[in-house]
Amino acid sequence: MDKSRFPNFYRLSIKDRVKAVYKRGLISKEDYLALKNQQQQLDLHSADKMIENVIGVMGLPIGLGLNFLINGKDYVIPLAVEEPSIVAALSSAAKIFRNYGGFKAESGDPILMGQIQVVNINNLEKARSEIMSRKEEILNLANSFHPRMVARGGGAVDLNVKTYPMSSFEQDMLIIDLHVDTRDAMGANLVNGMCEGIASLIESITEGEVFLRILSNLSDKALASASVIIPKDALETADYNGERVRDGIVIASDFAHADPYRASTHNKGIMNGIDAVALATGNDWRAIEAGAHAYAARHGRYSALSKWSIDSKGNLVGKIEMPIKVGTVGGPMESNPAVALNLRILNVESAMELARVMAAVGLAQNFSALKALVTEGIQKGHMTLHARSVVKAAGTPTKLFDQVLEKLLISGDIKVWKARDILEDLQRKTSRKPSGLIANKSSSNEAIEGIGFGKVILLGEHSVVYGRHAIAVPVPQTIRVKIEDCKESVMLMIPSWGIEYQLDKDIEQRQSFEKPAGAILERLNLSNKGMRIEVFPDIPRGMGLGGSAAIAVAIIRGLSNHFNLGLSDEEVNGMAFESEKIAHGNPSGIDNTMATFGQPLIYRTGEPPLVERLNINESFSLVVGFSRHEGVTAKTVRNVREGWRKNTAMYEKIFDDIDDLVLKSVTAIQNNDFALLGQMMNFCQGLLNALQVSNPELERLIGLAREAGALGAKLTGGGGGGAMVALVKKESEVAEAIESEGFETLSFTVSKQ
């Protein structure tokens, strides 16, 4: 029977877990009764004898790391730790490893080093020579203080001498490193005692003054190592193939070896497991930490303690090596009943064996942490990275990159040849169309399940939030959504924006950009379904064209179609409005309404809002010019709100003036009086400046448009960046004037209705 395998152990009650461990023969009946009645805990009387000023005892959870197979032996490993997920992560990693031979582990002799500092030496070289010539005498004296340790095969075994300049005084100091085999004891007091004991002899030999006599926690003679080899297929998850997980772990490992900031967190994860074993077995985890981090910096730069690589057969290979000087006998083991019980569960025969176990635990914890990071971690998942590299490898020019990427992802065939086919097809069809910020529409509509429309506000930004009218028209660009089922988690991907994120199921843990999508899923009772939501935007983000609302509408429609929910346009619009509230705080509702219906509209907030189709008797042309900076609608809306609160009467007058311009513009459009419409747009820009939502770059774009013959031009959307819209007679003249200054444009015609 595999003694460390307890299927579904976590599902058992604590009482049943204790019983299962007893039935497996890992603890005696006496230990079983102690655990059952919780009598293994340190009592107050014993605690008072361990340290000073005792007032109580603090407990830590003790969990069992399962599934460990180390050098062919099964281990159940007690872990004293308060941090959740560590025990589960270790057990999960060990379960994978045991199927492929488990861990191979080694440990060096349990050597602890003591140091003796000697100063005020007249002849340094003579002192060094004398110490080395009388080495046996010094070692014999050290061992005479601990004959029982010598009888057990331990004791002082070697020494070496080194010198350093003293930075504060004009002399050198001589350091004697005394190497002591402490066998199964931690050995701190033993080594300190030996250093004290030989101090007088050292002084007489060197004719100097012995100053410090103290052990070192950098026990680099007591190195422990562990290694594993795992086939890439064993790393496969529901959402990622084994090769990608393997490569991700290796890439993360290389990061930790190159960068000390990453290495510190990498090594902290390793110590999460090792410290938990040290605490459970009564060892000095602080000494182990000190030695580990010093060893990590042994080459003059802090680096990772573990290394992950790929062997010639494509397997993932993990290795760890670090100083682990521990004990299995001594005071802490005898004074704390929980420690003694944990050691019996662990069933190690020596301190060296315990060191090997701890090295394996550190490697297992490191594997779990890296695997989580590269599959589901902080930026959870990197599904489009490979596709982006394939598109680049196909030689795709920048202006077609997003289109090729979108079509490649929809095809599902992420190969260089496929990307080249798509590129060649696009190049054959390419005519003069907007590029850069504005993408061309995908032709792969058979895979698209939801669409949201972009918009331009002609007049009425900001005042519409306060109950006034606004005019908006749709742009030709849309946002489209494709939804695929997957086994677990909700993955949101917007490839052309570089966004790929696994939605956190814990509402409290969601970041701000996750919350709108999360709210939609919860409203539709779909938050527990596994799915991949891919968003393909033609609309640039942060440019005032209603991108966030269009995404919400496209996702809602996509979910409705994919899961056969049968939502009406009004229901879609209502849910998108709730999403906009989360995204922007105090939206007017015009963006989600335009994203839903995609028609020229007159809009006014209210209960219910006024939504009227705008009658257009004669087509007119618009040019949108994009600034180089994204606008943040929530920020500009908040700033206007703060100004309104401080100067309500003044702001209300501005809102009334904008409303008057909007209503005059409605009449102008219906009368085909586009000169008047342009004039109204220019006046409106002046009022938006009074609201302080424009900026120098937008003013420059507006100036370029007017100088090139635009009838009128103003910012559109929230402002603070984003875009301006110009009413034009000739699209090309205004667009070329703006593009000649390095800005991008979108030109389109608003057709008569």
CA distances from residue 322 to 143, 205, 206, 219, 634 in whole angstroms, order as listed = 28, 35, 34, 9, 51
Measured distance CA(174)–CA(176) in Å, rounded:
7
pLDDT, tens digit, 9 for 90 and up, residues 46-91: 888 888 998 888 889 999 999 999 999 999 999 999 888 899 999 9
Residue scoring higher pLDDT (384 or 722): 722
Task: Using the predicted structure, report yes or no on whether residue 29 has a pLDDT greater than 80.
Answer: yes
Q: Is the pLDDT of residue 449 over 50?
A: yes
- Helices and strands per DSSP (H, E), number in the chain: 26, 21
Catalytic annotation, pick one of 268, 386, 429, 505: 268
Q: What is the pLDDT averaged over residues 468-497? A: 86
> Which run of H or E residues covers position 485?
strand 469-485
Residue partners of 380: CB distance under 8 A and separation at least 6: 489, 491, 501, 502
Q: Is 209 helix (H, G, I), strand (E, B) or coil?
A: strand
Fold type of domain 431-613: Ribosomal Protein S5; domain 2 (3.30.230)
Active-site residue, from 43, 83, 425, 656: 83
The span from the CA of 539 to the CA of 543, in Å, is 8
The token pair that represents 313 in the structure block:
């057969």
Per residue, the 3-state secondary structure of 83-120, as one string, reads CCCHHHHHHHHHHHHHCCCCEEEEECCCEEEEEEEEEC
Question: Would you place residue 414 in the very low, low, confident or very high pLDDT band (cuts 50, 70, 90)?
Answer: confident
Whose CA is closest to 577, among 598, 542, 549? 549
User: Which position among 36, 319, 382, 629 bears the catalytic label?
Assistant: 382
| Of residues 315 and 389, more confidently modeled | 315
| Segment 732-752 mean pLDDT | 91
Measured CA to CA, the distance from residue 598 to residue 609 in angstroms comes to: 17
Distance, CA of 269 to CA of 277 (rounded, Å) = 14
% of the chain surpassing 70 pLDDT: 93
Write down the mean pLDDT value for the chain: 89
Q: Which helix (H) or strand (E) holds 367?
A: helix 351-375
Question: Could you tell me which CATH class the domain 111-216 is placed in?
Answer: alpha beta
Q: If pLDDT is split at 50, 70 and 90, which confidence band does 538 have?
A: confident
For residue 106, the tally of other CB atoms under 10 A from its CB is 15
Cα distance between residue 320 and residue 281, in whole Å: 21
Q: Give the range among 21-30, 175-184, 434-443, 470-479 with minimum mean pLDDT.
A: 434-443
Contacts of 640 (CB under 8 A, 6+ apart): 462, 465, 651, 691, 693
Q: Are 104 and 230 in contact (CB under 8 A)?
A: no
SS3 content of the chain, % helix, strand, coil (to 5): 50, 20, 30
Q: Calculate mean pLDDT across residues 106-111.
A: 97
Comparing 424 with 308, which gets the higher pLDDT?
308
Q: Average pLDDT for residues 439-457, to the nearest whole number?
A: 70
The pLDDT value recorded for residue 730 is 86
Q: Which fold has domain 9-108+222-375?
A: 3.90.770
Q: Per the confidence metrics, is the pTM higher than 0.85?
A: no
Q: Would you call 83 a catalytic residue per the annotation?
A: yes
Asked if 72 contacts 102 with a C-beta cutoff of 8 angstroms, the reply is yes
Average pLDDT over residues 107-135: 97
Amino acid 443: pLDDT: 39
The model's confidence at residue 488, banded by pLDDT at 50, 70 and 90, is low
284 part of the active site: yes
**DSSP annotation string for 28-78:** -HHHHHHHHTT--SPPHHHHHHHSSS--------EEEEEEEEETTEEEEEE
d(CA 529, CA 395): 38
Residue 325 annotated among the catalytic residues of the structure:
no
What pLDDT, on the 0 to 100 scale, is given for residue 433? 44
Measure Cα distances from 355 to 32, 98, 157, 288, 437 in Å.
26, 19, 20, 11, 58
Which whole-number Å values give the CA distances from 90 to 79, 241, 251, 360, in the listed order? 10, 22, 21, 10
Supply 427's token pair.
């190049």
Residue 724 scores a pLDDT above 50: yes
459-470 mean pLDDT = 93
Spatial CB neighbours of 119, under 8 Å, sequence gap ≥ 6: 166, 171, 173, 174, 208, 209, 211
Judged by DSSP in three states, 682 sits in helix
Considering the candidates 284, 571, 731, 739, report the single residue annotated as catalytic. 284
Judge whether residue 463 has pLDDT over 60.
yes
Compare 497 and 737 and report the one with higher pLDDT: 737
Domain 620-750's class?
alpha beta
Predicted confidence at residue 380, as pLDDT, reads 40
Most confident option among 28-37, 220-229, 601-610:
220-229
